[in-house]
Amino acid sequence: MCGIAGIATLDGSPARERVKAMCDSILHRGPDGEGIFVAPGVGLGMRRLAIIDLNTGDQPVTNTSGTIIVVFNGEIYNYRELRQDLIDKGHSFRSSGDSEVIPHLYEEYGMDFIARMNGMFAIALWDSRERRLLLTRDRAGIKPLYYSLRNGTLFFGSEVKAILVAGGSNREINPRGVDQLLTFEYTASPTTLFRDVHKLPAGGWLVWTKGDLQQGRFWSLPKSVTMLDESEEAIAERVRTTVTAAVRRQLVSDVPIGAFLSGGIDSSIMVAAMSEVSPTPPMTFSVGFGEASYSEVEYARVVAAHCGTQHHEEILSPDYLSILPEVVSQLDQPIADFSVFPTLLVARMARRRVTVALGGDGGDELFAGYDAYQADRYAHAALDWLPRSLRQALDKCAQLTPLGRDKRGVVNQLRRFLEGAALPSRWQHMRWMVFLSNRGREQLYSPEFQAAVAGQTGEIISEMLDGGSASRLDDQMRCDLRFYLPEDILAKVDMMSMASSLEARVPYLDNEVIDLALTIPAHLKVRGGVRKYILKKAFKDRLPASILGRGKEGFSMPMKNWLNQEWNGLMHDLLCADNLRADGLFDAAAVQRLMREHEARKQNHSHLLWGLMVFQLWKQRFQSCTT
């Protein structure tokens, strides 16, 4: 595990100091060591967080002849099998870890090598014979990779800040990126907030050869799959054995390893599987919060006791404003998800005892765990036949009712539910994923900004909901697997865990788990109102019924309350008229109205207001000429 960065150029060799500066900017990703390779046409760098092969696992790594050079961020979980296959074909190795497998795989299989790896990775590979640089990223999008091309020179890095310190961007704001940030709370690959910096898509590859770029995908969600035609019991057994095997694979480590335990379904099942295959009681980590509706720590305690883990927890009442600069420093490609704060805090807590932590991300998208999936079923059952006049009356009542302070409340949820009912049927899944409507955009954006992004949100939503699956539910899960999971959830976890020099692994996104989940019929994922039905059935004898019967909570913070209390002054400072006029993007009066409505608790504008604040914080931190 580490961070990678580098330059490919047409003119001579990149300065070693320039590559080192890129590595220094991502020191937190790898405090245990540094490796730099510079040769005519290329400079590769990495920062290492030592996990496997502590003594001989340094990078860059090469093939035997030294013609293929690799820097790599992540873990290859099937590297032992790949290594043995390569040995059988005549390859020899100097180290015992996973990194050295990569150049030999490329030498043996060419571009086809990428699909043979089961892991999380971002890879930069220099083929000196062809003077070719290959960049690629794991198929689920667990590990990030950014790039820019300026006058034929390619810059890349695990974080945008590595590109900025090397002069790889002119730092011009991308209107499409700003619009996506406010609409979705993230940007969809390849878009970032800089016009000339791009995200390599999940499952994607890029090849730079003498200043020219080619791009493609080595993996994407299959357009169609053959659904399993087996008994419910047989499929449940498949799920259990496959998830458990993935957890076992991801326990490989030469340093202490633990797990994030929220008390929710996914992390609880993962810990149950971990306790089965770990040679010692696993360490688990939970954080709780002062506001009861935002804390799940009591459920985590139940799971930890049931599974016999070495459990560590903290009830936090931190000064969140004091950690805001640390959070912002990691948001060089910003997301406006509130849960960046608890994610950083639990990662920081875990890092005091372990270097690697397993998490439960991906379970909701693969096994249908989100509220949105149930809401869609209710919408069709309850609202399709309801007269439009009655829907409008319900909506009006909900809008007039004051909002509650809790994370979830009847009024809060009813408003979002009824808002979604007004969308076209095919788009109703987006009710939970869109935080800025077309009407809101017209009121908030300047005419110039509106013209710059006209129509793009509809294009993205159409791409998200591209259809073609066996069921409406499958289409919705595919949407979340392609966009929400890699662009928000996994990006957030990577940013905040690596800020703490902690490796976060995700067993649910193991290749074999993904491949299996895609073949499970939708009616086994949601049955009789029970979400994740088949996953729960698979582990029904490993966890208490009180845990398996829980609903989805999510990892969030009371931002709507903060903006009216502790964070109110910061909100007004960041969103003052002078700042907004300087951008030329937003109508200052419209923003003032949003703040007034939120402060009066007439509307919950916390998502949109925080998105605007994140943009201002990002601009102050990263648009200047220094990072």
Mean pLDDT to the nearest integer, 451-476? 83
Helices (H), 89-159: 101-109
How far, in Å, CA of 220 to CA of 203, rounded?
6
3-class DSSP assignment, residue 103: helix
Mean pLDDT to the nearest integer, 477-502? 96
Q: What is the pLDDT of residue 223?
A: 84
Q: What is the pLDDT of residue 372?
A: 78
Q: Percent of the chain having pLDDT more than 90?
A: 73
Minimal CA–CA distance to 175: which of 192, 197, 161? 192
CA dihedral 158, 162, 168, 174 (to 10 degrees): 70
167-187 tens-digit pLDDT: 999 999 999 999 999 999 999
Mean pLDDT to the nearest integer, 37-46? 97
Helices (H), 193-264: 232-249
Lowest mean pLDDT among 38-47, 210-219, 394-403: 394-403
568-627 tens-digit pLDDT: 999 999 999 999 998 899 999 999 999 999 999 888 899 999 999 999 999 999 987 566
3-class DSSP assignment, residue 285: strand
Tell me if residue 2 is catalytic: yes
Minimal CA–CA distance to 76: which of 56, 53, 55? 53
Residue 484 CB contacts under 8 Å (≥ 6 apart), including other chains: 186, 365, 433
Mean pLDDT to the nearest integer, 381-390? 59
Dihedral class, residue 66 (left if φ above 0, else alpha if ψ from -120 to 50, else beta) = left
Residue 53 CB contacts under 8 Å (≥ 6 apart), including other chains: 95, 96, 97, 98, 99, 254
Minimal CA–CA distance to 114: which of 188, 42, 206? 206
How far, in Å, CA of 278 to CA of 4, rounded?
31
Using the structure block, give the residue that is written with the tokens 């804390």: 295
272-290 tens-digit pLDDT: 999 999 999 999 999 887 6
For 2-172+192-217, which CATH class?
alpha beta
Mean pLDDT to the nearest integer, 360-378? 85
Dihedral class, residue 554 (left if φ above 0, else alpha if ψ from -120 to 50, else beta) = left
Does residue 500 surpass a pLDDT of 90?
A: yes
How far, in Å, CA of 101 to CA of 78, rounded?
10
How far, in Å, CA of 521 to CA of 227, rounded?
6
Q: Where are the domains of the chain?
A: 2-172+192-217, 221-554, 558-627
How far, in Å, CA of 585 to CA of 588, rounded?
9
Helix (H) / strand (E) element for 390: namely helix 388-400
How far, in Å, CA of 420 to CA of 417, rounded?
5
Minimal CA–CA distance to 368: which of 548, 533, 515? 533
Question: Under a CB-based contact definition with an 8 Å cutoff, are residues 518 and 239 in contact?
Answer: no
Cβ neighbours, 10 Å, residue 386: 12
Residue 190 CB contacts under 8 Å (≥ 6 apart), including other chains: 198, 199, 200, 201
296-354 tens-digit pLDDT: 789 999 999 999 999 999 887 768 888 999 999 999 999 999 999 989 999 999 999 99
Q: What is the mean pLDDT of the chain?
A: 90
Q: Could you check whether the bond before residue 334 is cis, i.e. omega within 30 degrees of 0?
A: no
Does residue 427 surpass a pLDDT of 90?
A: no
108-164 tens-digit pLDDT: 999 999 999 999 999 999 999 999 999 999 999 999 999 999 989 999 999 999 999
Q: Percent of the chain having pLDDT more than 70?
A: 87
More confident residue, 375 or 242: 242
Does residue 431 surpass a pLDDT of 90?
A: no
| pTM of structure | 0.93
Q: How confident is the model at residue 549 (pLDDT cuts 50, 70, 90)?
A: confident
Q: What is the pLDDT of residue 371?
A: 80
Mean pLDDT to the nearest integer, 437-443? 90
Mean pLDDT to the nearest integer, 400-420? 57
Helices (H), 472-551: 472-479, 490-499, 511-517, 533-538, 545-548
Residue 620 CB contacts under 8 Å (≥ 6 apart), including other chains: none
Q: Could you check whether the bond before residue 281 is cis, i.e. omega within 30 degrees of 0?
A: no
Lowest mean pLDDT among 4-8, 54-58, 249-253, 416-420: 416-420
Helix (H) / strand (E) element for 146: namely strand 146-150
353-366 tens-digit pLDDT: 999 999 999 999 99
Q: How confident is the model at residue 416 (pLDDT cuts 50, 70, 90)?
A: low
Q: What is the pLDDT of residue 110?
A: 97
Mean pLDDT to the nearest integer, 66-86? 97
Q: What are phi and psi of 114, to 5 degrees?
A: -65, -45
Q: What is the pLDDT of residue 424?
A: 58
Helix (H) / strand (E) element for 42: namely strand 42-48
Burial class (CB in 10 A: 0-12, 13-18, 19+), 297: middle
**CATH fold of 221-554, please?**
Rossmann fold (3.40.50)
